[in-house]
A and B are shown apart, each in its own frame.
Chain A
Amino acid sequence: MRRIGLTALIVFLALGCSGCWDSVEIEEVAIVGSMSIDKGQGDHVVVSLEVINPSALASGTQGPIGESPVVSVMTRDEANTIPAAITSAQRRTPRKICTGLVGTIVIGQALAREGVGKIIDYLVRNATVRSSATLTTCDTGAGLLQRPFMFPLPSRTLAGLGESALASGMTITVTLCEFMARLSEPGIEPITMHTVGRKIKDVQVKRQGDEVKQTDPAVMREQPIDVDVSLDGELPPDSPILNPYKETSSGEFVPGTTINIGIAAYRGDKLVGFLDDHEARGYLWTVGRVEQGTIEVDDPGGSGKKIALGIIRSSASVKPVIDDDLIRMDVELHVDLETREAPMHTNVNNQTLVQALEDSLDALILREARATLNRVQKELKTDIYGFGNKVYRKDPKLWAELEPRWNEEIFPNLEVNIQVKSRVRAPGSAYSVANR
Chain B
Amino acid sequence: MINPRQLFFIIALTRISALLVLLPVVTAGNALQDAWISVIVATVVAILFVWLGAYLAMKHPGKSLGQFSRDLLGKTGGAITTGLLAISFYVLCLIRTRLVSLVIISHFMPKTPGWALAIPVLLTAFYGAMMGPDTVGRASEFLFTVMALIIVVSMVMSYVWSAERVAGLKPVLSRGLRPVFGAAVPAAFLGLMSGLKVLALGRFTVEEHKMPKATALALLVSGLVLLVVTIDVLTTLGPAQAQAYVMPVLALASSVFIEGILERLDLVLMTAWVLGITFDVTVLLASSSILIGDSLGIGHRKVAAALFLLGVVPVSHRFTDIFVMRQLHSIPVTGIWSAAICVGTLAPVFIAYLIKKRRGGS
Contact = CB atoms under 8 A, between A and B. Distances in A.
Label chain B's interface by main secondary structure. helix
Given A16-B119, A21-B113, A5 B254 contact: no
Nearest to B110: A22
Nearest to B176: A396
Interface in A1-25: 1-2, 5-6, 8-9, 12-13, 15-16, 18-19, 21-22
A183 B242 CA distance: 12
A22 B109 contact: yes
B237 A180 contact: yes
Nearest to B169: A393
Given A22-B110, A175-B255, A12 B236 contact: no
Contacts of A19: 109
A185 interface: yes
A2 B266 CA distance: 35
Nearest to B174: A396
A5 B285 CA distance: 15
B120 A177 contact: no
A84 interface: no
B236 A177 contact: yes
B157 to A, nearest CB: 12
Interface in B236-274: 236-241, 244, 250-251, 254-257, 266
B172 A1 contact: no
B111 A22 contact: yes
A270 interface: no
Contacts of B126: 5, 9
A44 B116 CA distance: 40
Interface in B99-155: 106-113, 116-117, 119-120, 123-124, 126-127, 130-131
B168 interface: yes
A359 to B, nearest CB: 27
A16 B163 CA distance: 45
Contacts of A131: 251, 254-255
B247 to A, nearest CB: 9
A21 B115 CA distance: 12
Contact of A180 (B109, B168, B172, B241): B241
B238 A182 contact: yes
A19 B111 CA distance: 10
B180 to A, nearest CB: 13
B301 interface: yes
Most buried by A among B111, B163, B239, B241: B241
Given A1-B130, A180-B238, A18 B117 contact: yes
A215 interface: no
A181 interface: yes
B356 to A, nearest CB: 37
Nearest to B240: A184
Contact of B255 (A13, A22, A132, A184): A132
A15 B120 contact: yes
B217 interface: no
Interface residues of B, number: 41
A387 interface: no
Contact of A2 (B106, B109, B131, B170): B131
Contact of B112 (A18, A176, A182, A400): A18
Contacts of B170: 393
Contacts of A183: 241
A58 interface: no
Given A18-B116, A393-B172, A13 B130 contact: no
Most buried by B among A2, A21, A183, A288: A21
B135 to A, nearest CB: 11
Contacts of B296: none
B73 interface: no
A181 B238 contact: yes
Contact of B109 (A18, A389, A397): A18
Contact of A130 (B236, B238, B255): B255
Given A13-B120, A131-B255, A180-B241, A21 B111 contact: yes
A406 interface: no
B107 A127 contact: yes
Contacts of A400: 174
Contacts of A13: 120, 123-124
A9 B111 CA distance: 23
B254 A132 contact: yes
B237 A1 contact: no
Given A21-B113, A22-B110, A9 B255 contact: no
A392 interface: yes
Given A130-B255, A181-B237, A1 B301 contact: yes
Contacts of B108: 22, 127
B241 A184 contact: yes
Contacts of B275: none
Contacts of A396: 172-174
Nearest to A386: B164
Contacts of A185: 238-240
B256 A132 contact: yes
A15 B116 contact: yes
Contact of B123 (A8, A175, A399): A8
Interface string A156-200: 000000000000000000011100111111000000000000000
Nearest to A397: B174
B305 interface: yes
B123 A12 contact: yes
Contacts of B244: 184
Given A127-B107, A396-B174, A21 B112 contact: yes
A254 to B, nearest CB: 32
A181 B236 CA distance: 7
A131 B160 CA distance: 14
Contact of B257 (A1, A21, A124, A130): A130
A-B pairs with lowest CB-CB distance, top 10: A181-B238, A16-B120, A396-B174, A177-B255, A131-B255, A184-B240, A21-B112, A22-B109, A184-B241, A18-B116
Given A22-B110, A184-B241, 12 more contacts: A6-B127, A19-B109, A130-B266, A132-B257, A175-B255, A176-B255, A177-B254, A392-B172, A393-B170, A396-B172, A396-B173, A400-B174
23 contacts: A2-B131, A5-B130, A6-B127, A9-B123, A12-B120, A13-B124, A15-B116, A15-B120, A21-B111, A21-B112, A21-B116, A22-B109, A22-B111, A22-B112, A127-B108, A130-B254, A130-B266, A177-B237, A177-B251, A180-B241, A315-B163, A393-B172, A396-B174
Interface of A: 1-2, 5-6, 8-9, 12-13, 15-16, 18-19, 21-22, 124, 127, 130-132, 175-177, 180-185, 288, 315, 389, 392-393, 396-397, 399-400
